[in-house]
Amino acid sequence: MKLSAPAKVIALLFSVGLVAGCSTTGENMEDGGYGSDVEPIDQDGGSTVYGGGDQDGISSSSMTEEERMEIQKQTEQQALREVTIFYFDFDTSEIKPEARDVLMAHARYLSNNPGQKVRLEGHGDERGSKEYNLALGERRANAVQRFLIVNGASRGQMETVSYGEEKPAVMGSSESAWAQNRRVELVFE
């Protein structure tokens, strides 16, 4: 494809303009400014979170240590509850030790929110018969249900269902795919 001389000149000028436009923000950073509306944290070590509108916000420097710890605990619990898939080893329904803290956070949440419902969906990998994998998925979902009940959740908040090998998370016949398919998913309603 041949371009005419005027088209080449226009393309060259456009390229130079693009490079020049991207090379600077037009703000002088030498005066100690940040070049935006971002301000540093105050020297007392606190920061302020604003709620928007005309609200003043909450300053962490005016909070007691107990209030900070409570907010940190709530934040950690929320982060733990974002994990809703729990994996199992081959041919077992035993909950892994690394899943226990996360399941405890879910149990506390369910205990504190009695109107919340959750469906526990048990799954297996493709190895074994369909009937065996359905039963294994059910055992896995029931193991999670028992753990949640022992730690404060109500049986009436939960429903268990087994999909066996019918709804794989990952397609394939490798150990990696199988490991991702051996799971229980918590689906909050």
For range 154-171, the mean pLDDT:
96
Q: What is the pLDDT of residue 124?
A: 96
At 31-45, the pLDDT tens digits run 444 444 444 444 445
Q: What is the pLDDT of residue 176?
A: 95
Strand ranges (DSSP E) for 26-172? Answer: 48-49, 58-59, 85-87, 118-123, 158-164
Cα 7 to Cα 2, 4, 14, 17, 21, distances in angstroms: 10, 5, 10, 15, 21
Per the model's pLDDT, the better-predicted residue between 185 and 25 turns out to be 185
- Given a cut of 90, whether residue 93 has pLDDT beyond it is yes
Q: Which CATH number fits domain 84-188: 3.40.50.2300, 3.90.1150.10, 2.40.50.140, 3.30.1330.60?
A: 3.30.1330.60
Q: What is the pLDDT of residue 139?
A: 98
At 67-84, the pLDDT tens digits run 888 888 788 778 778 899
Q: What is the pLDDT of residue 7?
A: 61
Cα 107 to Cα 67, 86, 116, 174, distances in angstroms: 23, 14, 11, 33
Domains of the chain: which residue ranges? 84-188
Strand ranges (DSSP E) for 36-167? Answer: 48-49, 58-59, 85-87, 118-123, 158-164
Distance (Å, whole) CA 39 – CA 24: 21
Q: What is the pLDDT of residue 162?
A: 97
Instruction: Write down the mean pLDDT value for the chain.
Output: 80
At 104-139, the pLDDT tens digits run 999 999 999 999 999 999 999 999 999 999 999 999
- Given a cut of 70, whether residue 61 has pLDDT beyond it is no
This prediction has a pTM of: 0.63
